[in-house]
Structure 1
Amino acid sequence: MTTATHSSVTETAVKRAIPMNVFRQSAPLRAVCLENRELVGPGGIGTVRHLVFDTSAGPYPFLEGQSAGILPPGRDANGKPHKLRLYSIASTRHGDTGDGKTLSLCVRRLEYPHPETGETVYGVCSTYLCGLKVGEEVSMTGPTGKAMLLPDDPTATIIMLATGTGIAPFRAHLWRMFRENNPDYEFRGSAWLIFGIPTTPNILYREELEDFQRHANFRLTYAISREQKNAKGGRMYIQDRVAEHVGELWELLQRDNTHVFICGLRGMEDGIDAAFEAYTAGLGIRWAEYREHLEKSHRWHVETY
């Protein structure tokens, strides 16, 4: 995943050390695959794998919202080493095991028709990762990224808008907020996840997400495009859910400690902007200017790929 749009340092960055590029391409970490399991249920579209890596050969320090780099083996058609790929980390700094010695990724195998032959082309790195066997090593760089870091304020309102594997950093955020007992971060704010997926079997980490609903300060909304209809009778996409709840979302944005996080396919932010723009026009407010205010306040966080 490559970072786009907003990538400035958050206000909290000056209060904490942010690990950056501890491991580089010239000297990567040799991380060992501990787990590789399918996240898409029967009847779903494509394949998405949850991978857990042993990083104890490091250590590999990171914060929730950062990304890890993977160097796939082999060479391209020009004889050059394959390029580094970035993936959002899907676990907290303590890892799925809680001992700080693992890191998790959420990887969709990229596949698309060749524009000339029509044959299916598979992504180099995603196919490599999805096919990893337990015990195999990968070359890992990083961590990198500052745009998606959670604010230190434990009373903040966190709005998360995700499509597909864009759920990865939000899984880390939600574990940090609701699953771990962190003496340095006792979350007392509220969180709302709006998650866009094509079918019900494609709800990644569904059991975990729905379990978090036992917390009164967590709200979960799905936009299931091939099963649900929007107000106009078309497919329900994430921008339709934003438009549906835009009045409530706007009210939340009036709080000076509300943060919006957007992660997923590039272009998803356009529909979200359009929904807010249509609403704020009726208030006599230019959305582009207001969003710029949010960005300058380090409250509007985007990472699309």
Structure 2
Amino acid sequence: MAAQVFATPMLAKSSFAGAAVVSKAAKAPARAAGMVVKAQGTDYGLGLEMKTTKEKSMKAGRAPVPLELEDMPLPLNTFKNKAPFVGTIKSVERIVGPNATGETCHIIIEHGGKMPFWEGQSYGVIPPGTKVNSKGKEVPHGVRLYSIASTRYGDEFDGKTATLCVRRATYWCPEMKAEDPAKKGICSNFLCDAKPGQEVMMTGPTGQVMLLPKDPATPVIMVATGTGIAPMRSYYRRFFVEDVKSWEFKGLAWLFMGVANSDAKLYDDEIQECIKRFPGQFRCDYALSREQTNKNGGKMYIQDKVEEYKDQIFQLLDGGAHMYFCGLKGMMPGILEMLEGVCKEKGINYEEWLEGLKEKGQWHVEVY
């Protein structure tokens, strides 16, 4: 649920440490089950130039924040479908290069401090318009969930905005040899096409699966594909960008990020700046499936990159590290198989070992 849920510099190897009324619109036909995303060489009005975020959302030192939000209890379902919160779009920018395999946008929404959340939670978005349900009745569109890509303080560090990282879903019709606008993702396109000042109806926040450990000394391993980077961005910004003295991160943050190519990297400018500032605490390893090969000469996927460091990861988990997964569910079988192999090598019962991680709250999975 990093985007929608429905459906590097290297360090030496170490053992580590409101609105209830929805306006009606034309009835949209059902989306095809086999949705694909194709945006290479297209321009949706944002231009093909990648916009960077570091200069806009990072300060020279740690950013001061309203620390009263640290005492905020976990908010859950503050706003619901029948009475959503009405936020306002502050900005929408493309954050991938011209050769990326899809259109991904960095979207800042103003909530004025009225819809607070914790890192790792999600917002629901209700796109405008209506659909025809299975009973032939015209009803509002349903809620789409998006992982929040900022900390509770937002990109402006005042606790009044939240960020979403959204990939535009389009359908490439092989017969038309073009994108079929009738089958595009309703909510993702609404968000990516939104203009500053436009209203957006939201529900939530929701989610407890991806919350951070209570102890800020706990090592955190993050595994993401594409817009699965969203909750991970909230983590590393809390760790390395904001001045939260009562929760000062003392552990290791290790990010594994899988995308198609270099132009599809998300927030790399921020990531590299954080690594530069905290080289002993933060590292990032990329799996670029169209640019790198794995040990067998095939495409380098996220599970292949994680496998390269299986011994260190196993040791970290055995020592109490928390591991977070967000993105495409297809990455999970390979990672689980790899960990099972490590357990076998060490004479450890894999099922018991993994169940132990879950029981101790070290295993966090949110895939789609």
> Which 10-residue stretch deviates more, 261-270 or 215-224?
261-270
CA contact 1:3–1:303 (8 Å) conserved in 2: no
Residue 218 of structure 2 aligns with an amino acid whose one-letter code is A
Q: In the alignment, which of 240, 262, 267 is matched to residue 330 of structure 2?
A: 267
Corresponding residue number in structure 2 for 1:55:
111
Aligned residues between the structures: 293
SS at match of 2:166: strand
Q: Give the C-alpha shift of residue 113 in structure 1.
A: 4.2
Q: Give the C-alpha shift of residue 267 in structure 1.
A: 2.6
TM-score with structure 2 length normalisation?
0.76
What RMSD in Å do the two structures reach over aligned CA positions? Answer: 1.8
Corresponding residue number in structure 2 for 1:71:
126
Q: In the alignment, which of 217, 221, 235 is matched to residue 173 of structure 1?
A: 235
1:43-91 deviations in whole A, cap 9, x for unaligned? Answer: 11110000001101x6111000000000001112442211100000000
Indicate yes or no: 2:296 matched with 1:232. Answer: yes
Which structure is larger by alpha-carbon Rg, 1 or 2? 2
CA distance in 2, matches of 1:16, 1:301: 22
CA distance in 1, matches of 2:346, 2:147: 36
Taking structure 1 as reference, are residues 16 and 294 closer, same or farther at Cα in structure 2, changes over 3 Å only? farther
Taking structure 1 as reference, are residues 16 and 259 closer, same or farther at Cα in structure 2, changes over 3 Å only? farther
Corresponding residue number in structure 2 for 1:221:
285
Which residues in structure 2 correspond to 1:156-171 (within 5 Å)? Answer: 156-171=218-233
> Which 10-residue stretch deviates more, 73-82 or 267-276?
73-82
CA distance in 2, matches of 1:62, 1:100: 9
CA distance in 1, matches of 2:356, 2:127: 40
Corresponding residue number in structure 2 for 1:35:
91
Which residues in structure 2 correspond to 1:109-188 (within 5 Å)? Answer: 109-113=168-172, 120=180, 121-188=183-250
Residue 27 of structure 1 aligns with an amino acid whose one-letter code is A
Q: Give the C-alpha shift of residue 197 in structure 1.
A: 0.4
Q: In the alignment, which of 231, 234, 256 is matched to residue 194 of structure 1?
A: 256
Corresponding residue number in structure 2 for 1:205:
267
Indicate yes or no: 2:242 matched with 1:242. Answer: no
CA contact 1:38–1:47 (8 Å) conserved in 2: yes
Corresponding residue number in structure 1 for 2:318:
254
> Which 10-residue stretch deviates more, 16-25 or 130-139?
16-25
Corresponding residue number in structure 1 for 2:159:
100
Which residues in structure 2 correspond to 1:5-16 (within 5 Å)? Answer: none
CA contact 2:84–2:203 (8 Å) conserved in 1: yes
1:210-246 deviations in whole A, cap 9, x for unaligned? Answer: 1111212101100000000100000000100111110
TM-score with structure 1 length normalisation?
0.92
Taking structure 1 as reference, are residues 151 and 16 closer, same or farther at Cα in structure 2, changes over 3 Å only? farther
Q: In the alignment, which of 80, 83, 86 is matched to residue 24 of structure 1?
A: 80
SS at match of 2:319: coil
Unaligned residue ranges in structure 2 (runs of 5+): 8-70
CA distance in 1, matches of 2:305, 2:6: 24
1:147-174 deviations in whole A, cap 9, x for unaligned? Answer: 0001121110000000000000000000
Taking structure 1 as reference, are residues 17 and 289 closer, same or farther at Cα in structure 2, changes over 3 Å only? same
Unaligned residue ranges in structure 1 (runs of 5+): 5-14
> Which 10-residue stretch deviates more, 145-154 or 74-83?
74-83
Corresponding residue number in structure 1 for 2:149:
90
CA distance in 1, matches of 2:72, 2:330: 32
CA contact 1:3–1:304 (8 Å) conserved in 2: no
